[in-house]
Amino acid sequence: MARNVHTIRAMVTTSGPSPTPAAHRGDGRALLGPSPLLTLVGLVLAVGCLYWAQAFLIPVALAVLLTYLLSPLVELLERWIPSSAAVLTVVTLAFVALGGLVWVLTLQMSALGMEVPKYRDNIREKIADFRLLGRGTGLERVQETVESAASEAEHAVEQTKPPAVRQEKPTPVVIQYERGLWDLQAAIGAWMEPLGRAGLVVILVPFMLLGRLELRNRVVRLFGFGRLAFTTRALDEANSRVSRYLLSQTAINATFGVLAALGLFFMGVPYALLFGLLGGALRFIPYVGPWIGALLPIAVSLAIFPGWTRPLLLIGFWLALELFTNLVLETVFWAKSAGVSHVGLLLAVGFWTWLWGSIGLVVATPLTVCLLVFAKHIPALEFLWILMGDEPVISSEMVLYQRLLAMDQDEASDIVEQALTEKPLEHVEDQIMIPVLVMAGRDHARGRVDAEEYRSVVQAVRDIAEGLAPAAAEGEPTHRVFGAASRGAADAVGLLMLRDLLAPARVALTVASPELLSAEVVDAVQ
């Protein structure tokens, strides 16, 4: 029988390189970079410059985003016509289309403003219906009682005063000023700033498109040839992420606007084109934009349609369209994300809105994407990428080890089960569970965890492994293997995993206790 028995000795080593991948670059010291004070001062100065120079930086940011958006079209046309002609064609068509949309929106808004007063009676009826919803409630009765008591008290105080003391209400005097030259200058001054910014954007976009390759070379030279590989990766990643985001978002919003306009048209809502354009355009504002775009058509439907049937149908249609956009269109167009987590994007939207106002809402996502791309490669800014990025910064084995140290067996099991949905059992045990035993043994040897914590981690890994054991093959095993652990319980757990993997192949592995001596192992084999 000894000829059919194979003997192995297992050892889960606690030396050598760390099993964690390069995803965990840094051990926490890169949180604020090599010089935290210098990084903090630099961030404060950068935020101050962004705020005080917003009159110049906002048009530049918009021009850069339009350049990213139009670059693929320019590159496509450059295959057949010269670069300057391609840029001129794309820019002309883009600004003509944008101007046409603004013109249509202006006409539709003006016509809507003139027609709303026609539905005054219907609006009053809806307001009366809203008031009836709360009539008879305890809150309304309390409010009426308080108002009545206050009115009676005020009247009683007035009656106790002598006639000479009573003050009659003064007659209001309306003073009207005739509009003159100063009003014209004020109106022109109010329009000068947005027109100036728009003009700067129109001028910058064609020049940026023409000189985009030269600008790229200058950025490479600015960072230095010694960091050529880093600069190339950062620029390529930023260009890929921002272009993909802008193109995907534009396609999604355009589809949403067309579907919204068609749906509103068939529902009989006037100015469906206006509401479709606004709904698609406002979706460029993260999170709140779609709901802002829904307010105007809902308000108009409440004003013009008698009863509540059509307004409620419109609300249901808009919710269904929003769900379709989020679940279908975004899944189709966004094969990859922009690289920003949801919490990080919310924080970025708040920051850029505080810094640049309403324009910050529009440019928040692409600017944050660019910032995180460079933060990923610059140690002093790496904390931004760690806090706001959507890529995992801790590997699965590190998360599993951390939860086992916290004695959270449920979440640890969930981590392993989630990994099994993506990888086979042998990969999960080899790349996730065995490294946990290695890290636990290393930390125990260095005094970072005590003996009780070490035994708890090893036992937890053993329990998880036993729960994952596949069914053994039917029939007698073709081979029998005797395994002995070399350095304790962790090695025995590794052998148990190997036993479970060999069982479907009709290989029987017997795991000896790690407390057996060498002579006892020899006797067991013989």
Residues 6 and 119 in one domain: no
What span, in angstroms and rounded, lies between the C-alpha atoms of 284 and 365? 9
Higher confidence at residue 195 or residue 317? 317
pLDDT of 367 strictly over 80: yes
Which tokens is 116 given?
A: 């709303």
Q: Is the domain of 8 the same as that of 116?
A: no
Residue 457 has pLDDT above 80, yes or no: yes
Alpha carbons 213 and 78: distance in angstroms, whole number: 14
**Overall number of domains in the chain:** 2
Q: How confident is the model at residue 358 (pLDDT cuts 50, 70, 90)?
A: confident
Last residue of a domain, one of 210, 233, 255: 210
pLDDT recorded at residue 375: 81
Residue ending a domain, choose from 210, 230, 251: 210
Helix or strand or coil: residue 483?
Answer: strand
User: Which position has the higher pLDDT, 137 or 421?
Assistant: 421
**Residue 502 shares a structural domain with residue 405:** yes
- Tell whether the model's pLDDT for residue 424 goes beyond 60: yes
The verdict on 12 and 65 lying in the same domain is: no
> Does 142 score more than 50 pLDDT?
yes
Give domain status of residue 93, yes or no.
Answer: yes
Q: Could you give the CA distance from residue 283 to residue 286 in angstroms, rounded to a whole number?
A: 7
The lowest-confidence range among 1-10, 300-309, 380-389, 488-497 is 1-10
The tokens for 387 are 């806090």
Residue with tokens 């969930």: 414
Quote the crossing angle between the two packed helices 409-420 and 451-467, to the nearest 10°. 40
For residue 18, what pLDDT band results from cuts at 50, 70 and 90? very low
Q: pLDDT tier at 217 (50, 70, 90 boundaries)?
A: confident
Report the pLDDT value the prediction gives residue 523, as an integer from 0 to 100: 57
CATH number where 489 lies? 1.10.1240.10
Express each pLDDT in 78-110 by its tens digit.
888 888 888 888 888 888 888 888 888 788 777
Q: Is residue 299 part of a domain?
A: no
Tokens of 261: 């306009």
State the pLDDT at residue 30: 42
Phi, psi of 194 (to 5 degrees): -65, -35
372 within a domain of the structure (yes/no): no
The whole-chain average pLDDT of the chain stands at: 74
Are 431 and 492 contained in the same domain?
A: yes
| pLDDT at position 468 over 60 | yes
Residue 199 backbone phi and psi in degrees, to 5: -65, -40
408 assigned to some structural domain: yes
Lowest mean pLDDT among 12-21, 252-261, 265-274: 12-21
Domain that holds residue 111: 45-123+198-210
Instruction: Report how far residue 153's alpha carbon sits from residue 503's, in angstroms, rounded to the nearest whole number.
Output: 91
- pLDDT for res 459: 84
Residue 112 lies in a domain: yes
For residue 442, tell me if it sits in a domain. yes
Helix/strand/coil for 423: coil
Tell me what percent of the residues of the chain surpass a pLDDT of 70. Answer: 70
108 falls within a domain: yes
Residue range 67-84: mean pLDDT, rounded: 84
Q: What's the pLDDT score for residue 308?
A: 78
Of the pLDDT bands very low, low, confident and very high (cuts 50, 70, 90), residue 186 is low
250 domain-assigned: no
| Mean pLDDT of the region 297-314 | 82
**Which of the two residues, 324 and 468, has the higher pLDDT score?**
324
pLDDT confidence bin for 3, thresholds 50/70/90:
very low
Say yes or no: 10 and 87 in one domain. no
pLDDT on residue 32: 42
Sign of CA dihedral 408, 411, 415, 421: positive
Same domain, 517 and 430: yes
497 with 406, same domain? yes
Distance of alpha carbon 502 from alpha carbon 65, whole angstroms: 57
Q: Is pLDDT of 12 > 70? A: no
CA distance 259 to 328: 14
Percent pLDDT > 90 in the chain is 0
**What is the pLDDT, as a whole number, of residue 151?**
64
| Tokens 């985001």 sit on residue | 245
The torsion defined by the Cα of 430, 435, 440 and 445, in degrees rounded to 10, comes to: 110
Contact 518, 43 (CB under 8 A): no
Mean pLDDT in residue range 6-15: 48
Q: Which of 142, 176, 210 is the last residue of a domain?
A: 210
Report yes or no: 313 and 266 within 8 Å, Cβ to Cβ. Answer: no
Angle of CA points 158, 161, 167, to nearest 5°: 65
Q: Regarding predicted confidence, which is higher, 88 or 245?
A: 88
Does one domain contain both 12 and 82?
Answer: no
Question: Does residue 511 or residue 425 have the better pLDDT?
Answer: 425
Q: In terms of domains, do 11 and 108 share one?
A: no
Q: Are residues 15 and 108 in the same domain?
A: no
pLDDT at res. 21: 41
**Tens of pLDDT along 306-340?**
777 888 888 888 888 888 887 777 766 665 566 77
The answer to whether the predicted template modeling score (pTM) of the entire model surpasses 0.85 is no
Residue 400, classified by CB atoms within 10 Å of its CB into exposed (0-12), middle (13-18) or buried (19+), is buried
